[in-house]
Amino acid sequence: MRVTAIKQLDNETLNFTWDDGLVSPLSLKRLRDTCPCAGCQGETVLLHTYAPQEQPVLPGKYDVARIQPVGMYAIQILWKDGHDTGLYPWEYLRAMCECHVPGVNDAQRNNDYKEEM
């Protein structure tokens, strides 16, 4: 399972296309707030758990400067506030995408359609 394409839909959304055909939008805010790096999520080293550092909200925190592939298993997102230590493995992104399975969106579309009738 891997991402075959990433497209920025608007200022707040990245669209991920998967090799099994799933296309799912993820908000930049959500991606940044779940940044998997040790600085954001904390870290356990030799049984000591280090809490994440308090991070001030800087301009550009939720803007993407660049996305780089990391080998064949992850992407690295460089944010415009300079934060670039988060690696997002495919499984991690996929778990976030699962709530956007096509059936859910289709049901929503059908409801909208009925309301228009």
Nearer to Zn ion, 65 or 107 (CB): 65
C-beta of 11: minimal distance to Zn ion in Å? 20
Give the pair of three-digit tokens for residue 24.
Answer: 């799912």
Nearer to Zn ion, 37 or 67 (CB): 37
The footprint of Zn ion (CB under 5 A) covers 35, 37, 40, 86
C-beta of 42: minimal distance to Zn ion in Å? 11
Nearer to Zn ion, 17 or 85 (CB): 85
Q: Which long-range contacts (CB under 8 A, 24 or more apart) does 82-87 make?
A: 82/58, 83/32, 83/35, 83/37, 83/39, 85/37, 85/38, 85/39, 86/35, 86/36, 86/37, 86/40, 87/36, 87/37
C-beta of 21: minimal distance to Zn ion in Å? 30
Nearer to Zn ion, 19 or 33 (CB): 33
C-beta of 80: minimal distance to Zn ion in Å? 14
Q: Which residue has the tokens 């929503």?
A: 108
What lies within 8 Å, CB to CB, of 98 at 6+ separation is none
